Structure 1
Amino acid sequence: MSKTGTAKDAFVISSIAAGILFGAPSLVEAGESSGHEEFKASFETQQIRYGHTGPFVSNVQEKLKTLTLYLASVDGNYGKQTENAVKQFQRLHHLKVDGIVGKQTQAKLTSFPLSTTVLKLGDKTEAVKTYQEQLSQLNYYQGQLDGIFGPQTLQAIKEYQQKNNLEATGELTITTQMHLKSNRNKKGKTLSSVKAKNTQTLEHQSSAITFAKTLVGTGYRWGGTTPAGFDCSGFINYVYKNSGLLVPRTVNEIWNFGIKVNKAGIGDLVFFQTYKPGPSHVGIYLGNGRFIHTSSSKGVSIGEMSNPYWNSRYLGAKRLPKG
């Protein structure tokens, strides 16, 4: 066979292979392999790009649709919408942004699971802990790595989304998860901004305590939320509303809203179990073992944590998120 003949034959073979991969879905789909296996198999020798058609293009579209980057119909046609979705994926993962599903883009696409769950406030999973760790490394999250999606985690995610031009929902959307997993920027927020936020929080707590002390002597009233009479949670609600922070109405809701701390600090909320199981009484910690609260016998007053009644019923402390 001549050199010319060899080159010609190679071109014909290559054309047939490309036709099978991109232009003849029926030949590929005749096999027994799953869609994911077909997707991986197509990546062994081929690039998928604008103008291609076939089942492997559909697989790329399905993958990008799962990741909420491709919003059009899965039709197996590599058009502009598919190309733009691929480019967005490449930007998120610091890949060459050319809109071509080549070797590196292929490898990154296949590394993601076929389904991803949006994580949101109230979730308690190991996945949440993983993202807390990442946000902590980037200096967005300052709380405990406990896998609990609470207000502090939500705030950290919002700040991350805002800084990285993502939709600031406060939820760990699939796009946000992808962005966090591929983020190479370990600097995050500057130390000065963290200190500024902590200073702002301390000022907020000081303001709440100062105002709370002016209410000492106010009488008790079941369901009361004004100086005409408070119950314990109504008092907390009123005090922090005056300081610009809205908190839930009931003790249990406030307990779930707050961020757990190992040791109460000035301005933290302290919780007790009194007339029923679980948190049923709350006050504001003043430091030096004292807290301000509303009791049914004394109204708004200052109590001692060491008092046998309160000491035996103490459940723990929570910190209210700022803003």
Structure 2
Amino acid sequence: MLQTGNVQQVVKHSMAYGFLLSQPFSFYVDAYPVLQNEVLSQAQNLKYGQHNESVIVLQYKLSQLNYFKQPVDGEFGIRTEYALKSFQKDHHLTVNGVANQKTITTLMKIERKKYLQPLKSIKNDYVPGEQGEDITKIQKALQYFGYYKGELDGIYGPLTDKAIINFQEDHGLEVKKSINEKTVNEIYEAEPTEPVKTVEAPTSNTEQKEAEPKPVKKQTTSYSVSSVITTAKSLIGTPYVWGGESPGGFDCSGFIQYVYQSQGIKLGRTVSDIWNATKPVSNLSVGDFVFYQTYKAGPSHMGIYLGNNQFIHAGESNGVEISDMGISYWKERYIGAKRVAQ
């Protein structure tokens, strides 16, 4: 699983940095493979009937490996199940059509091999201006980690040069306008190795039902609402960055998590995690969480209520900002309020 720190390190040079999520579902296909892994690693037992961003990533990865032949739509239907079972069969996994821990780990491993294994055949050093099959292999490997964003053309031009330099800088290598054996080996070995923490689905229906993810434990603690609001407002203007959870850039749940961590309160990382770990309220109070259904069913965006029908949140267009709950966009998508138990 890709660590959050690694995401933040790589994302500044990636296709995801500054990506405007006006069409959120398309992002999961356009994101580079390692960042897709971060999305998929949060999934638990993806299976028939589900519809979410993790299924989008699953379908896309299966299509890249020539198992899924249909349009990527995020619907885990019969064709997705068939593709997954075919993958499981070919790689000696339990053929149950459920994307459990072992299946997800194997899928990532096979995809990694597709992008990075060709590097092992590279024996020569290269400098800007050269071209050939080896350059294409390097471009493809750098694309895997989000550094290379151009066409795989086999030309060591400005885009390839920039990707190499960014990789060297991020991995503590001597920055050189060339590709040598050491750089190639570093790219090959840069694959994160921490195992994906998902729940493996058993083969029997009874065991599978018992293995369903348990609800997040409810958070019980005390904190200062005024301090929360002060901290939140101090971050107004911070840009929106998908996966961001620091003052360098936030996504909506990363912003909430950061604000509450500053008060010693540990929350889940996703909107769904926070929704599941907090208690519903009927009457809004300052400091409550307000939840919205935006690009998918269920809670997918959130903010902190400030009073006077306003809330503060990390918006996709303007970053951390204060918005009016009464405008039609938010009013139509509002699904409820919750708060941290004290």
TM range (shorter): 0.3 to 0.5
Q: TM (normalized to structure 1)?
A: 0.38
What TM-score results when the alignment is normalised by the length of structure 2? 0.36
Look at both structures and tell me which one has the larger radius of gyration over its CA atoms: 1
Q: Which has the bigger relative contact order, CA under 8 A and spacing at least 6?
A: 2
